Structure 1
Amino acid sequence: MRTQNISVFSRQTSRFIILPLSFMTIFLLYTQNAPMDDTIYSFDDLIFEPSCSCKTCIMGFMDDDWFVYRYNPTIPALLNRRNSLLHRDAYKWWRGLQPSRFRVNYTEVVDQLFSLFPDEEHYSDAGPDRCRTCAVVGNSGNLLGSHYGQLIDSHDLVIRINKGPTKGYEKDVGSKTTHRILYPESAVDLEDNTHLVLFPFKIRDMQWLISTFTTRHITRTYTRVKSSIKANENKVMILHPAFIKYVYEKWLQKNGKYPSTGFITVVFALHICDQVDVFGFGAKSDGTWHHYFDKSHTNFKGGPHKGDIENTTMYQLVHRNKISIYKGY
């Protein structure tokens, strides 16, 4: 009887061991083929001290609960092979931003990207001896007549957004550009010393970037786009898709469908700079919203973005001495 009980117990024990192992095997096989991981980016238990040599540092005074809740320096801002695996929630959210007809193997696209462009960690040199000043230059008409050109050009990094030109506007917007933020629908030719920073709102944007430097066969996304642009392939960077989700969830509290390019750029600057000055955001003094280089009017509350929430959040950053905003009037 005792022998029989031992035999039954052994069979049951084996079954309970084999079943979890079987599920584990299936899980491992699945995750090996999926462009995802379960990494949790958190720094709740860490304490940060002022970490730069500027007069004020973004990472200084980390006793501000509002800022600490939103700002997570462990989130990768820029994509490379080593950090390209996406948490499954991030992957699902990001893929939800794009048309369902574009079913592409994300891992293969990443491999193609970094066979062409620099595969490295950027801006990982933060420390008490560094003071990296950054100007984020938007495209608001409030730049006209501002005479900010020299001030903008005095920054270490000058980050411009989409098509905002400098030629003919140097007195107000400056002439220096170290980084140009763009995506296929806003692409322009770049100077050889300018970093192209792709904000990939969809996987088709990554494919377009590859195509512009190789086959040049992609001429449409949801609209017609340039098949190629002039840019230095050794200065290409790609924003991490998880960073876009982080900005949406932490900074905008899931308001709107996804963040605007301008707002993502400001948060991006918070992660790579020690001091951030913002130009060319908001309305003109008369309340109108248009670009400094054309007269097309925009409604900052319309579309998929919550412009009013973004604007309020930016002024919270001003109030907390994390950024400075130059209104131009």
Structure 2
Amino acid sequence: MSLPRQRRIRTLAVLFCVITFTTFLFSYTFRDPSLYFLKYASHLSDSFFSKGPCACQQCMVEVEDDPWFSEHFNQSIHPLMSRENSVLSDETFKWWQWLQSERQPANFSEVVEELFQVIPDEVLYMDSSPERCRTCSVVGNSGNLKGSHYGSLIDSSDFIIRMNQAPTSGFEEDVGSRTTHHVMYPESAIDLDNNTSLVLIPFKTLDLQWIISALTTGTIKYTYLPVMSRIKANKDKVLIYSPTFFKYVYEAWLEGHGRYPSTGFLSLLFAIHICDEVNVFGFGADQYGNWHHYWEENRLAGAFRHTGVHDGSYEHNVTLLLADKHKIQMFKGR
């Protein structure tokens, strides 16, 4: 046998061995649970760099992160809806429509098209500068804010997220005066100033029709309860909480506990996905164990805690775990 022919045979034999070994290695890798951390590291790297640089002292997504957080956190799901991401999977659409069932819902695609003729078809602006440190204050409505003197600390954040009624007038020393994003649904709607973004959490197609109506004709006055027919808000700053993100919060973070997440928990996860540093105020009971709103005089009020649709205990435990893992900082007030 000629020397060149022998070399070709040897080369093919070596190549065959390499391919066989590589195939076996990859097959074993994806079967072996002990190699979870290799896949975890790869996933973490992707999610970290997709969020962009962060110059905070403690950033939401770190290169060396926590496996529990990485397992739950999915940066690829955007919290806000646009035309581009408005198409819902059949599974998501059925789950979302089930939340507050409508007998004869309007055509979802047609409503979305009309919606983005009234409000901007854009998502929240994200600063990607090298020195960026985007800070958020998520301000709940707990009575533990009374006498807390957190106002100036809350107002120092870049984004200040409030929810539902949340008055600030007369309570500035404890809750601050600035609001950049106000999260609500039709049945909890209030008027906003021109500088605040309205973040609508829709539970059904009718809720999207309501915001269109509330910013234009005022024809919708009832959902399953009487609602404001018109609302004062800057329509150029109206944002829609994505049903896809809504379902992700319920499944990935609450693991199916309760019927659906509370407005407070949805607001918290919104902040976790748009900010590098998140401070949380006004969540939980006051120092005496009472559940009430900071603007209420009656400390024994707070039937809102027993709505039957939220698993408040599970949400609270997840929130405490996020704080324990230094993903958020909780200010417990008084």
Per the normalisation by structure 2, the TM-score is 0.83
Instruction: Choose the corresponding residue for 1:87, options 82, 86, 89.
Output: 89
- Structure 1 partner of 2:153: 151
Give the alignment of 1:158-173 within 5 angstroms.
158-173=160-175
For the 8 Å contact 1:98–1:203, the answer to whether it is kept is: no
Query: Which residues of 2 match residues 224-243 of structure 1 at below 5 A?
Result: 224-243=226-245
Specify the code of the residue in structure 2 equivalent to 1:112: E
Instruction: Report the Cα distance in structure 2 between the residues aligned to 1:102 and 1:235, rounded to whole angstroms.
Output: 30
Match of 1:297 in 2: 302
- Relative to 1, partners in 2 of residues 1:243 and 1:114: Cα closer, same or farther, differing over 3 Å? same
Q: Where does structure 2 lack aligned partners over 5 or more consecutive residues?
A: 1-40
Note closer, same or farther for the CA distance 1:308–1:61 as it changes in structure 2 (3 Å cut): farther
Q: Provide the C-alpha distance between the structure 2 equivalents of 1:214 and 1:44, rounded to a whole number of angstroms.
A: 48
Higher relative helix content: 2
Look at both structures and tell me which one has the larger radius of gyration over its CA atoms. Answer: 2
Partner of 1:99: 101
Report the secondary structure of 2:309's partner residue.
coil
Distance 1:314 1:82, change over 3 A: same
Q: Which range moved further: 83-92 or 170-179? A: 83-92
**How many Å separate the matches in 2 of 1:86 and 1:62?**
33
Distance 1:100-1:299 versus aligned 2 partners, 3 A rule: closer
Shift, 1:155, TM fit: 0.6
Aligned residue in 1 for 2:311: 306
State the 1:99 CA deviation: 2.1
Residues 51 and 59 of structure 1 are in contact (CA less than 8 Å); yes or no, is this contact kept in structure 2?
no
What are the superposed Cα offsets for residues 217-267 of structure 1, whole Å, 9 maximum, x if unpaired? 111111101001111011100010011100000000001110000001000
Q: Deviations over 1:53-83 (max 9, x none)?
A: 0101101145311101111000021011011
CA offsets, 1:145-182, max 9 Å, x none?
00001110011111111111000001100100111101
1:134–1:277 CA contact under 8 A, matched in 2: yes
- Give the number of equivalent residue pairs: 288
SS in structure 1 at match of 2:303: coil
> Partner letter of residue 331 of structure 2?
Y
Distance 1:158 1:274, change over 3 A: same
Residue aligning to 1:269: 271
Q: How far 1:311 moved relative to its partner?
A: 0.2
**In structure 2, C-alpha distance between the alignment counterparts of 1:301 and 1:322, rounded to whole Å:** 28
Identify the residue that residue 315 of structure 1 maps to in structure 2: 320
What is residue 23 of structure 1 aligned with on the other side?
Answer: none
TM-score by length of 1: 0.84
Match in the other structure for 1:286: 288
1:212 corresponds to:
214
TM-superposed CA distance for 1:189, in Å, is 0.7
Moved more, 295-304 or 316-325: 295-304
1:248 corresponding residue in structure 2: 250
* 2:19 alignment partner in structure 1: none
Distance 1:63 1:152, change over 3 A: closer
Which moved further from structure 2: 82-91 or 162-171? 82-91
Q: What is the RMSD computed on CA atoms of the aligned residues?
A: 1.8
Within 2, Cα distance between the matches of 1:61 and 1:316? 19
**C-alpha distance 92-62 of structure 1, shift in aligned 2 (>3 A):** farther
> What is the 5 A alignment of 1:108-187?
108-126=110-128, 128-187=130-189
For residues 83 and 328 of structure 1, the distance between their equivalents in structure 2, rounded to whole angstroms, comes to 39
Unaligned runs of 5+ in 1: 1-42
1:181-220, CA deviations, whole angstroms, 9 ceiling, x for partnerless residues?
Answer: 0111111110110001101112111110000111101111
Inter-partner Cα distance in structure 1 for 2:42 and 2:316:
26
SS in structure 2 of the partner of residue 96 of structure 1: helix
Q: Distance in 2 between matches of 1:313 and 1:300?
A: 17
Residues 123 and 272, structure 1, Cα contact 8 Å, conserved in 2: no
Checking the alignment, whether the CA contact within 8 Å between 1:140 and 1:289 is kept in structure 2 is yes
Amino acid at match of 2:102: S
Counting only pairs closer than 5 Å after superposition, residues 198-209 of structure 1 correspond to structure 2 as 198-209=200-211
Aligned-residue identity in percent: 52
* Runs of 4+ displaced beyond 6 Å: none
SS of the counterpart of 2:305?
coil
